[in-house]
Amino acid sequence: MRIIDPNGVWLKNTGAFPIHDPDIGVVLPAGETVKVAYSEWAKGQPTVVLDDLLNSTPAEKPAAHSKKA
């Protein structure tokens, strides 16, 4: 999985070929889940789907540093 836009959503191109999103200038690889902005163009593509599992999972917070020496 790749994070292109940390503020985006997890999308998957279910098609057999990579596709280029001209709205955001990103290539969505075939069969790969990427975190990108969900453009109007992508919303209109039948092979681009939201990954409901990853989008519903809360982001992990970084572990706090221990003050032990």
pLDDT tens per residue across all 69 residues of the chain: 789 999 999 999 999 999 999 999 999 999 999 999 999 999 999 999 998 778 886 665 555 566 665
Chain CA centroid to CA 8, Å: 6
- Strand pairing report for 2-3 and 33-36: parallel
- The pLDDT assigned to 60 comes to 57
Torsion sign (Cα): 52, 19, 22, 5: positive
Q: Are the CB atoms for 58 and 22 separated by under 8 Å?
A: no
